[in-house]
């Protein structure tokens, strides 16, 4: 879709919006398309494609036919777009409702619906429905990004396309290809699940996203119809939690304090240690044999793989297999031929799945009502609001000012001026009201609001319920489709630490904490000035100025072993980051810049770790340049993600990662000669 097509679609849209009785195809061909060379058949195909494009942006093109003789003649059919059917209804929100809505939109940050949430909020702002609202202290939750598979599945669900992927079955331990009609995605027991019809098995199935072993392929040429009234939350409510099992592991003496907190000592002579699958009757010198409770081998396997040679799984064999599989995949990825490392001059590579011109047209349809309701903003501020460069914005504006009614006079064109760097619009040609929510936008807001129900301080008030009802009414049919997505619980597991931190934020008190650092595998005591609380799913963080580190730090609340006011007032020497959501990793001048290669399934890690530059690779992978304050844990990072990431530069870190993986794999040599279930 070229810039000329973008302009043509805008002109077609304006023409169809501003006709009462409709325009015949011949009139549109002459006045909008200026088409005199193509055949009727070729023009008809172009017109149908353009109508489909407008439908994707929320505009339904209505065909009007006259009754009587000749009513079935396509040449007499007239086309128009209703002025009200495609518009976002007026939504009036109280300040309390705006607060809840903003929290719901911010939930998604880098997740698949993050841009859709931004678009939805921008539409409400343009319609005048949002008022200034102050976010409450300590209630800034987010949904953890679920990777590229999540994004692909959301797109397939909304477009109703089947998908294909490789999947590791929990019941058999076998990896098989699955062809699935995706009905919905939801979070349950801290994991994301896909619910859909498995064509190979002819029945409904549940698939855990963490068990997908390949990228998701969307079959765009095929379609399906989901069950009427499908609700993924109701489907997942009947999913039983896995039973608790016990793993036997050998842990390096004095290491892995976090794992030890959950484990229990296991005597060498215990029956579990002498099970047939155990490789030795006792544990090696320098290690402790522990029993670790778990529910799912893949979840614990991901954690244990990150510990590399510091832990060895003795039993059960499926857990050892899960660890071995991740380590092997990571080692094989690390040994592949190296790609050329080249980044664009600045910035990050865009997603290749969406075409630039489609994004441009969608942006311009949001830009007009935004400018109408925000006259005189500086052009740099407008560009920043839309997350684009000034040049990109000026390209949009130049297309807009060339668009208008067919064969119209100057007053029949969009009139936008920015000569003094302040943007004014005086002629909007009936584009002043935002288009109704898309499916993605409705899902982003409504699923976010549903997720906030797990926070008692929000669920108990009336604002959450009332804003949900208002948005359901505004979203219409697209809002009903939001039932195909269900978010995770965001309430903290232990509210006592959260309550203490919130009280300190409100009173301005300094805090003393005892903290376990998983990266350093050590416990330390610190005095901190609390600045902000936020979460990823139900994992909550305290952003604070640490007096020991003399800088901003982020502390996981579930790793704070003790927290209490120390009797001093928090200093005013530090402030939280300028924008929200806050980064988990605060950049410093002495950070190490690391270049990593991400496999197609791992490209979401570039967002998780705030890559400063990215570059697309053939086959769907990605190069990413990321700053890390501490690099000692990077081998753990590579092992944990099992073939989704490898270190390219600096070479010393890449070599350390390969050595770490090799040392870990030697502990599973007995498993390497046979397949692991």
The pLDDT of residue 584 is: 46
Nearest to 438 by CA among 123, 129, 184, 127: 123
Q: Where are the alpha helices (DSSP H) in 66-126?
A: 95-106, 114-126
The pLDDT of residue 380 is: 92
Question: What sign for the dihedral angle of Cα 654, 657, 663, 666?
Answer: negative
DSSP 394: H
**Could you report the per-residue pLDDT of 534-592, keeping only the tens digit for each?**
888 878 889 899 998 888 888 999 899 999 999 999 987 766 654 444 444 455 556 78
Q: Where are the alpha helices (DSSP H) in 547-610?
A: 605-608
Place of tokens 């190979």: 200
266 token code pair: 């296991």
CA distance 570 to 531: 9
DSSP string for 213-259: -SPPEE-TT----PPTT--HHHHHHTPPPPPPEEEEEEEETT--HHH
What is the pTM assigned to this prediction? 0.75
The pLDDT of residue 308 is: 93
Specify the higher pLDDT residue, 350 or 68.
68
The pLDDT of residue 583 is: 47
Nearest to 450 by CA among 136, 89, 143: 143
**Could you report the per-residue pLDDT of 498-544, keeping only the tens digit for each?**
889 989 998 999 999 999 988 788 899 999 999 888 888 878 889 89
500 token code pair: 């203490």
Say if CB 203 and CB 197 are below 8 A apart. Answer: yes
> Residue length, the chain?
677
CA distance 482 to 460: 23
Share of the chain above pLDDT 70, in %: 87
Q: Which residues contact 327 (CB under 8 A, 6 or more apart)?
A: 305, 308, 639, 642, 661, 664, 665, 668
Say if CB 509 and CB 470 are below 8 A apart. Answer: no
The whole-chain average pLDDT of the chain stands at 83
**Could you report the per-residue pLDDT of 406-435, keeping only the tens digit for each?**
766 666 778 888 888 999 988 777 777 788
CA distance 51 to 355: 18
Residue 604 CA, chain-centre distance (Å), reads: 8
| CA distance readout (Å), 94 to 61, 90, 105, 136, 474 | 34, 13, 16, 15, 16
Q: What is the mean pLDDT of residues 135-150?
A: 76
Q: Where are the alpha helices (DSSP H) in 386-462?
A: 390-401, 439-451, 456-459
Lowest-pLDDT range of 71-75, 158-162, 291-295, 368-372:
71-75
**Could you report the per-residue pLDDT of 244-253, keeping only the tens digit for each?**
999 999 999 9
CA distance 65 to 641: 59
Say if CB 163 and CB 122 are below 8 A apart. Answer: no
Are β-strands 23-24 and 78-80 bridged in parallel, bridged antiparallel, or unpaired?
A: antiparallel
CA distance 480 to 454: 21
Nearest to 619 by CA among 381, 220, 333, 207: 333
Nearest to 302 by CA among 671, 637, 645, 658: 637
Task: Report residue 278's pLDDT band, with 50, 70 and 90 as the boundaries.
Answer: very low
H or E element at residue 168: strand 163-168
Place of tokens 């991740």: 326
The pLDDT of residue 378 is: 93
């Amino acid at each position: 879709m070229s810039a000329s097509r973008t302009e043509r679609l805008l002109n077609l849209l304006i023409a169809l919006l501003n006709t009462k009785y409709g325009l015949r195809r011949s009139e549109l061909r002459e006045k909008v398309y200026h088409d005199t060379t193509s055949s009727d058949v070729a023009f008809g195909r172009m017109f149908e494609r353009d109508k489909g494009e407008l439908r994707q942006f929320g505009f339904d093109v209505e065909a009007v036919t006259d009754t009587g003789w000749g009513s079935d003649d396509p040449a007499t059919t007239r086309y128009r777009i209703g002025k009200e059917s495609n518009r976002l209804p007026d939504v009036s929100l109280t300040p309390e409702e705006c607060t809840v809505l903003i929290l719901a939109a911010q939930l998604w940050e880098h997740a698949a619906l993050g841009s859709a949430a931004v678009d939805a909020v921008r539409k409400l702002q343009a319609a005048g429905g949002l008022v200034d609202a102050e976010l409450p202290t300590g209630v800034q939750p987010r949904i953890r990004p679920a990777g590229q598979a999540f994004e692909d599945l959301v797109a397939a669900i909304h477009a109703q396309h089947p998908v294909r992927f490789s999947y590791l079955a929990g019941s058999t331990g076998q990896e098989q290809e699955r062809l699935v009609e995706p009905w919905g995605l939801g979070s349950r027991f801290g994991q994301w699940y896909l619910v859909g019809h498995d064509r190979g098995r002819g029945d409904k199935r549940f698939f855990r996203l963490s068990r997908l072993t390949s990228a998701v392929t969307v079959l765009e040429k095929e379609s399906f119809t989901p069950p009427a009234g499908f609700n993924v939350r109701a489907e997942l409510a009947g999913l039983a939690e896995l039973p608790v099992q016990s793993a036997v592991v050998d842990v390096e003496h004095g290491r892995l304090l976090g794992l030890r907190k959950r484990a229990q000592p296991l005597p060498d002579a215990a029956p579990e240690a002498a099970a047939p699958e155990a490789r030795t009757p006792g544990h090696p010198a320098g290690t402790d044999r522990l029993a670790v409770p778990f529910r799912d081998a893949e979840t614990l396997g991901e954690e244990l793989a990150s510990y590399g040679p510091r832990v060895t799984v003795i039993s059960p064999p499926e857990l050892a297999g899960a660890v071995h599989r991740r380590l092997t995949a990571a080692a094989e990825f690390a040994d592949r031929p190296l790609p050329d490392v080249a980044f664009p001059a600045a910035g990050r590579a865009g997603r290749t799945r969406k075409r630039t011109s489609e994004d441009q047209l969608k942006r311009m349809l949001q830009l007009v009502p935004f400018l109408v309701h925000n006259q005189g903003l500086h052009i740099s501020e407008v560009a920043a609001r839309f997350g684009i460069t000034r040049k990109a914005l000026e390209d949009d504006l130049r297309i807009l000012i060339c668009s208008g009614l067919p064969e119209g006079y100057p007053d029949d064109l969009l009139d936008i001026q920015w000569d003094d760097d302040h943007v004014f619009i005086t002629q909007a040609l009936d584009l002043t009201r935002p288009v109704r929510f898309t499916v993605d936008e409705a899902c982003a807001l409504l699923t976010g609001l549903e997720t906030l129900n797990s926070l008692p301080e929000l669920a108990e008030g009336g604002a959450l319920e009332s804003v949900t009802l208002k948005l359901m009414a505004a979203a219409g049919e697209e809002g009903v489709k939001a039932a195909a997505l269900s978010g995770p619980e965001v309430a903290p597991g232990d509210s006592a630490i959260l309550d203490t931190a919130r009280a300190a934020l409100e009173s301005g008190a300094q805090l003393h904490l005892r903290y376990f650092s998983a990266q350093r595998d050590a416990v330390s005591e610190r005095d901190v000035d609390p600045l902000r609380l936020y979460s990823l799913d139900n994992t909550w963080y305290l952003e604070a100025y640490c007096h020991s580190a003399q800088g901003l730090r982020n502390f996981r609340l579930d790793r704070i072993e003790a927290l209490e006011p120390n009797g001093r007032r928090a200093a005013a020497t530090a402030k939280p980051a300028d924008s929200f959501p806050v980064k988990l990793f605060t950049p410093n001048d002495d950070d190490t810049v690391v270049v990593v290669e991400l496999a197609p399934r791992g490209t979401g890690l570039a967002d998780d770790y705030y890559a400063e530059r990215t570059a697309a690779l053939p086959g769907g992978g990605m190069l990413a340049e990321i700053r890390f304050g501490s690099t000692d844990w990077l081998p753990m990072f590579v092992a944990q993600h099992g073939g989704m990431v490898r270190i390219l530069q600096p070479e010393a870190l890449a070599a350390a990662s390969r050595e770490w993986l090799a040392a870990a794999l030697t502990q599973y040599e007995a498993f390497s000669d046979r397949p692991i279930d």
